[in-house]
Amino acid sequence: MAPATDDRNGLVNRILPEMKLSDGSASSMTGPPAPFPHYLNPEGRATLRFAVEGNAVITGGGGTLALEAAKALLEHGAAGLALLDVNAVQASDAAADLRKEFPEAKIIAKAVDVTNAESVATAFGESAEELGGIDMLCCFAGVVGCTHAMDMSHEQWRKAMDVNCSGAFLCAQAAARSMKEHGRGGSIVLIASISAHRVNYPQPQVAYNVSKAGVVHLAHCLAAEWASYGIRVNSISPGYMDTILNEGAGLENARNAWAARNPMGRMGSPQELQGPIVLLCSGAGSYMNGADLVVDGGAIVF
């Protein structure tokens, strides 16, 4: 009986850790932004409003949507960029192409398994050292599978959760630790999905849907905990995007259904995620924290 009593005493006498919120003062990490310099003309103010400063890490960096985000951040002023992907060759090739287009930026590529804490720590540590710190993280790494729930194996369920949700947490944690160490705050953008908000039709994909719902709430939780360090955490929920993952004759019926149920009558173009990414990573989004931006042409209004 003694162990049970000790366990109960420990339970009822425990002290909960408490998150610390910022006071929002000018001296804090969440103070209001400085006004634009008086000498700027309207064009200068417009440019500065959406300027991206510092270094970005992008996971799933070899994918179509991730590369659109990379280009947008570099176009708006990012000084450094690390593409992280489980496919090291794909990431390296993509980085080489970006260097040709953006010769003034420092662009590197790293192999990473987002489900492995040691792999994540190594990749983020090396990226921070080579770039001179991490100021932005965009988590695009993810997997999707369409399987009827009754037929789904434990391994299929677990893989979706490990990559999409746990992977996002491990990468956000690694980035936040680096941001805290360098003391200049930062922006973390987690890529969720409209699948976090609605059940997909016609394809069954319960594991993906639930994992992405977790990503949205993960952003909420981290936004609350990390704001005092000057770290903003938000998510983007894209609708169906017209990428290679959604191509092929076998998907024709699904593509028709997706378009028919969308007020705009089409899928999204990958470049249509660039604006939201820049918004959340630039000064234009300085008061956005814990938000989820739905970019879906209106699909989930129904």
pLDDT at residue 14 is higher than 70: yes
Of the candidates 139, 128, 122, 48, which has an alpha carbon nearest to the alpha carbon of residue 80? 128
> What rounded mean pLDDT belongs to the chain?
95
208 catalytic? Reply is: yes
Task: Tell me what pLDDT residue 8 has.
Answer: 81
φ/ψ of 241, rounded to 5, equals -105, 145
Catalytic residue among 208, 229, 235, 237: 208
Task: Tell me what pLDDT residue 143 has.
Answer: 95
Least confident range from 80-84, 231-235, 244-248, 260-264: namely: 244-248
pLDDT, average across residues 227-242: 97
Least confident range from 7-16, 30-39, 55-64, 191-200: namely: 7-16
pLDDT, average across residues 234-247: 89
| pLDDT 10s digits, 52-87 | 999 999 999 999 999 999 999 999 999 999 999 999
In this structure, which amino acid lies at residue 293? L
Task: Tell me what pLDDT residue 245 has.
Answer: 72
Task: Tell me what pLDDT residue 11 has.
Answer: 77
Task: Tell me what pLDDT residue 191 has.
Answer: 98
Of the candidates 298, 274, 285, which has an alpha carbon nearest to the alpha carbon of residue 73? 274
3 band by pLDDT with thresholds 50, 70 and 90: low
Q: What does pTM read for this prediction? A: 0.95
212 catalytic? Reply is: yes
207 band by pLDDT with thresholds 50, 70 and 90: very high
Which residues lie below 8 Å from residue 84, measured CB to CB, with a gap of 6+? Answer: 57, 58, 59, 60, 61, 91, 109, 110, 111, 112, 114, 123, 127, 141, 171
Two structure tokens written together for 254? 């699904």
* DSSP symbol at 202: S
CB of 272 within 8 A of CB of 237?
no
pLDDT, average across residues 88-93: 95
Which residues lie below 8 Å from residue 104, measured CB to CB, with a gap of 6+? Answer: none
Least confident range from 94-103, 188-197, 242-251, 261-270: namely: 242-251
Task: Tell me what pLDDT residue 2 has.
Answer: 54
Other beta carbons within 10 Å of 122: 15
CATH 3.40.50.720 given to domain 41-297: yes
Task: Tell me what pLDDT residue 10 has.
Answer: 77
Catalytic residue among 127, 193, 195, 237: 193
Catalytic residue among 71, 92, 110, 212: 212
What ranges do the domains of the chain cover?
41-297
Which residues lie below 8 Å from residue 241, measured CB to CB, with a gap of 6+? Answer: 64, 65, 267, 268, 269, 270, 272, 273
pLDDT, average across residues 154-164: 98
